[in-house]
Amino acid sequence: MAITQHRLIFKHIDAPGYTRDIACYRKHGGYEMLKKGLGMGGAAIREEVKKSQLRGRGGAGFPTGTKWGFIDPSKVTKPIYLICNADESEPGTFKDRQIIYKDPHQLIEGMILSCFANGVKLAYLYIRCEFTEGWRILETALAEAKAAGFLGKDILKSGYDLEIHVHRGAGAYICGEETGLIESLEGKRAYPRIKPPYFPAVLGLYMCPTIVNNVETLCNVRHIVEMGGDAYAKIGRPNNTGTRLLCVSGDVVRPGYYEFPCGAVTLGQLIYDVCGGIRNGRKLKAVIPGGSSAKVLRAGETYKMKAKDIHGNTVDREVRLEDLPMDFDSLAAAGSMAGSGGVIVMDDTRDMVECLANISAFYAHESCGQCTPCREGVLWLKKILARIAEGHGKEDDPALLRDVADRIAGRTICAFGEAAAWPVQSFIGKFKEEFQIRIRRNGTAAKTDTVSLTH
Amino acid sequence: MSVPLQAGMESCVGPEKGELTPAFESQADELISRYPVSKRSAVLPLLHLWQETFGYIGPRGVEWIAKKLSLQEIQVLELVTFYPWFRQKPVGRFHFRVCRTLPCALGGSGKTFAALKKLMNLSSDGHEGAMISEDGLFSLEYSECLASCGTAPVVLRNDEFYEKVDEKRAADLVAGCR
């Protein structure tokens, strides 16, 4: 493999002999950064995180330093809470699973540092219950950390107290939305809260200032404390700093999880060099670059992007799909998003009608039901797509799908509406002929394959 | 004469049988102690505990948890019906969840599901909750993304997680239960 990974967070993951217990973690320098961080003081850690330009790894890519900056621990009189969002459930994403199962103490150290930096005394680790072993691993790891004096009262004689508890979800994707997660943690249905306030930093858990960060984001904090914000910001590209965990699934030879500096690999290098190309000697047809909510990219597409020439002038440049750097800004410029880092690859034998029908069935199942456009609209998307896939499509179904999707996005309390509409808008926009052919072949379109993607 | 309607009774099989042990009670108290600000936060943990102990959450569970946390029964029941992990009916002794979402579907989870269904002698299409075998040994349902897309297709058998479950591996999993 010509391209080498830059493993920061995955440094020890899958390394021979590396185990998830605290003794092994400490042998590899574990909890040393906690000692360093406690010495630095909270304000200094916050400053380093700001300098690092770290962007949240959950999906939205919001700068972590700014998110933390909404709260000034020296002025807030109410308790401040921190919640680790380990509800990893964006289809195509399986990075947090690796950290939780194979290196849980890295997450806990990052979490303790983040809590200390923001004056948090009580924190929760919200994990999806489908990680049936994962939550037990975290409970064990927390107990180990507490026994070693890294958690609880007077951590390492610094006078700082912190409790972290594991809280299990119960199979609802919407709990990944931070205000839905907070509602769920309060013991209610996970209905996302109406905005404003835009951030739980204002009113969060129990109506107190709250920080919600992704697992990968919190792990990064540990590394920022280690190397300093400026050094961290040198990894990756400007405004897209640090490393990124990329999860590749679907029709590639070597699906899996990889870590690279942000934007250091292109989509083409990732698929063809890192993952060994398309399975069974087939060709690339489509790729979803950042979890199933991200807009699909079609093989052969080019994108207009701004770039700097050798004189420093901004020029328009055409970039092929294969040459797209895997970072936040490039994928946004291509009309999609880096999202949660889940890359789903589809080969040229895949039926785009069925792929989209599968995705929309997911969103129809997961809509929390609070907003009418989403609750009703996404169900309609699913039903219309199922009828096209089953050979009963109507001539104007593609236009109808488009119309329904356009009326969901932007009309809901949370971003789930967009997440459900984007795949439909992009699949219909980019593969319209496939939908039309499928509808024209109605009746004769009965599948020879008895097992459909839509089930 | 009409029977008074108990919480959740219309969609479940009836009160859960079994003893509430002191160990269960102390586990519940420990869970509640994790939420010093609001006891209500302990509803999900208690629902998990109840389902793990009794197999499902019926009217007895809803009533007990509501009393324990000083809530209205509806405040517990509305979570049972909202969160897909909770169920109001028992499932088989070996409950299989097959991931249905795109990466697993691309990896052949449909075939895995069909194979399991045949091996367990199940009917119906699996879209309306779990299918249960006549002897109560097996049950099967689709689940949404289980976050292991790189090793598709994936299956949960009770609490055990299995990767790359093709038709052959599915047969091994079923055989392992007998």
B170 within some domain: yes
Rounded mean pLDDT of B42-71? Answer: 97
Distance of CA A324 to the CA centre of its chain: 19
Amino acid at B136: G
Instruction: Calculate the average pLDDT of chain B.
Output: 91
Per-residue pLDDT at B127 exceeds 80: no
pLDDT score recorded for residue B2:
43
Does residue B51 sit in the same domain as residue B103?
Answer: no
Angle, helix A95-102 to helix A215-227, in steps of 10 degrees: 70
**Do B147 and A186 make contact, defined as CB atoms within 8 angstroms?**
no
The answer as to whether B89 is a domain residue is no
Indicate whether B108 and B146 sit together in one domain.
yes
Q: Tell me whether residues B147 and A97 touch, CB distance under 8 A.
A: yes
Task: State whether B85 and A129 contact (CB < 8 Å).
Answer: yes
Which residues, 6+ apart, have CB-to-CB distance to A423 below 8 Å?
A288, A292, A293, A295, A296, A356, A359, A360, A363
Co-location of B77 and B135 in the same domain: no
- Measured CA to CA, the distance from residue A343 to residue A352 in angstroms comes to 16
Delimit the CATH 1.20.1440.230 region(s) of chain A.
Answer: 352-440
For residues B136 and B111, membership in a common domain is answered with yes
Q: Are residues B78 and B146 in the same domain?
A: no
pLDDT classification of A447: cutoffs 50, 70, 90: low
**Class of A352-440 in CATH:** mainly alpha
User: In which band, very low, low, confident or very high, does the pLDDT at B1 lie, cut at 50, 70 and 90?
Assistant: very low
Structure confidence at residue B18 (pLDDT):
87
Kindly state whether residues B41 and B100 are assigned to the same domain: no
Q: Which range in A184-188, A339-343, A443-447 is most confidently predicted, on average pLDDT?
A: A184-188
Range with top average pLDDT, A141-155, A326-340, B118-132: A141-155
Whether B108 is covered by a domain: the verdict is: yes
Same domain, B164 and B98: yes
CA distance readout (Å), B125 to A60, A130, A218, A451: 37, 23, 42, 12
| CATH number of the domain encompassing residue B47 | 1.10.10
Q: What is the per-residue pLDDT across A310-322, written as a single tens digit (0 to 9) for each?
A: 888 888 899 999 9
Pick from B82, B86, B111 the residue to mutate for testing the A interface (most A CBs within 10 Å). Answer: B82
Which B-chain residues 44-103 have CB contacts (< 8 A) with chain A? 44-45, 47-48, 69, 75, 78-79, 82-86, 100-103
Label residue A195 exposed, middle or buried (CB < 10 Å: 0-12, 13-18, 19+): exposed
Residue A185 has a pLDDT of 98
What's the average model confidence in pLDDT over A348-372? 95
B69/B121 same-domain check = no
A441 against B140, higher pLDDT: B140
Residue B143 has pLDDT above 90, yes or no: yes
Task: For domain A239-347, give the CATH number.
Answer: 3.10.20.600
Q: What is the CATH number of the domain that holds B151?
A: 3.40.30.10
The answer to whether position B3 is within a domain reads: no
More confident of the two residues B1 and A325: A325
CA distances from A334 to A91, A138, A319, A354 (A): 21, 38, 9, 24
Confidence of residue A186 (pLDDT cuts 50, 70, 90): very high
DSSP for A191-218 reads PPPPSSS-STTTS-GGGS-EEEEEHHHH
Q: Does B145 contact A89 at a Cβ distance shorter than 8 Å?
A: yes
Interface contact flag, B34 A206, Cβ < 8 Å? no
Test A171 with B78 for CB contact under 8 angstroms.
no
**Which region, left, alpha or beta, applies to residue A92 given φ > 0 means left and ψ of -120 to 50 means alpha?**
left
Write out the residue limits of the CATH 3.10.20.600 domain(s) in chain A: 239-347
Of B82, B114, B137, the last residue of a domain is B82
pLDDT at site A390? 86
One domain, residues B98 and B78: no
Q: Using the predicted structure, report yes or no on whether residue B69 has a pLDDT greater than 80.
A: yes
| Percent of chain A topping pLDDT 90 | 89
Looking at A5-92, list the stretches that DSSP marks H as alpha helix, in order from N- to C-terminal side: 22-27, 32-40, 42-52, 64-69
Query: Is A451 a residue whose pLDDT tops 50?
Result: no
Q: Is the pLDDT at A299 greater than 80, yes or no?
A: yes
| In a shared domain, residues B98 and B158 | yes
By percentage, how much of chain A surpasses pLDDT 70?
Answer: 97
Residue B163 lies in domain:
94-175
Q: How many domains in chain B?
A: 2
Average pLDDT over residues A362-379: 96
Above 90 in pLDDT, residue A1?
no
B2 close to A (CB below 8 A): no
Does the pLDDT at position A288 exceed 60?
A: yes
Residue A154 CB coordination number (10 Å): 10
- One domain for residues B29 and B74: yes
Q: Is the pLDDT of residue B24 over 60?
A: yes
Among B52, B82, B112, residue at a domain's last position: B82
Min CA distance, B4 vs chain A (Å)?
A: 26
pLDDT of residue A198: 86
pLDDT in tens, A152-173: 999 999 999 999 999 999 999 9
Q: Which of residues 242-281 of A touch B (CB under 8 A)?
A: 247-251, 255-257
Report whether pLDDT(A205) > 60: yes
Domain boundary among B27, B59, B82: B82
pLDDT band at A450 (very low <50, low <70, confident <90, very high): very low
DSSP letter at B142 equals E
Question: Are residues B165 and B102 part of one domain?
Answer: yes
| Beta strands, E only, A358-435 | none
- Asked whether B104 and A453 are in contact (CB, 8 A), the reply is no
Looking at chain A, which residues constitute the CATH 3.40.50.11540 domain(s)? Answer: 22-234
CB A60 within 8 A of CB A199: no
By three-state DSSP, how is residue A237 classified? strand
CATH superfamily ID and name for A22-234: NADH-ubiquinone oxidoreductase 51kDa subunit (3.40.50.11540)
